[in-house]
Amino acid sequence: MCRAQSRGRFFNRLFNAAACKMMAAFGLLVSANPADADWQYTRWGMTPQQVVAASRGLAKPYQGDPTLANPKLLKKLMAPYSTSNFTFNAVFVFETTTNRLTTVHLVLSPTSRCPDLKDAMIREYGAPQISELGGSSATWRDSSKGNLVYYLHVPLEPGGHCEISYRPLRQHDL
């Protein structure tokens, strides 16, 4: 069920619509299959303990509200992550019934670099297969790595919000 948190009516509608579309695009109601793909040092289907070990202790318990719009998923761990051009906070999402890794969200810091991040994503993956909300969200199917990649920029949130999410591809994606 998609419900917005209280931050103002316009923002609630915009963010709720984006979150619902992200859930639909990601097919989050289906659990991950470890054989599908992976993200960096993690493998889909890992337990939180395995993610901590794979991160060499960088992954720590998530600080903040762990709930998502999908009640079957929880944010359990977070870790710093950097590329040569960007700095993120990686957030690891697990299915509640299996306690297995389903999604990795990379939250960009500072959010002022969000346009640069989207440009980098287009250079990496090409034109998005789905682009919505005036370009504030984009989805790519990365068949070579077996991942669905989602970009979301919500500039109305105080300070803005910008993230990339990765999860394994499913047959029904796109």
pLDDT digits (tens, 9 = 90+) for 95-122: 999 999 999 999 999 999 999 999 999 9
Q: Are 58 and 66 in contact (CB under 8 A)?
A: no
Residues whose CB is less than 8 angstroms from the CB of residue 157 and which lie 6 or more positions away in sequence, other chains included? 7, 11, 15
How many of the other CB atoms lie within 10 Å of CB of 83?
A: 10
Domain assignment present for 129 = yes
pLDDT of residue 157: 67
Quote the domain boundaries for residue 48: 9-168
- Residue 148 C-beta-side C-alpha neighbours within 13 Å: 23
174 assigned to some structural domain: no
Tell whether 80 is covered by a domain: yes
Flag whether 29 is in a domain.
yes
Residue 52 lies in a domain: yes
Number of domains in the chain: 1
pLDDT attached to residue 121: 96
Is residue 91 in a domain? yes
pLDDT at 166 > cutoff 70? yes
pTM: 0.77
The answer to whether residue 2 is domain-embedded is no
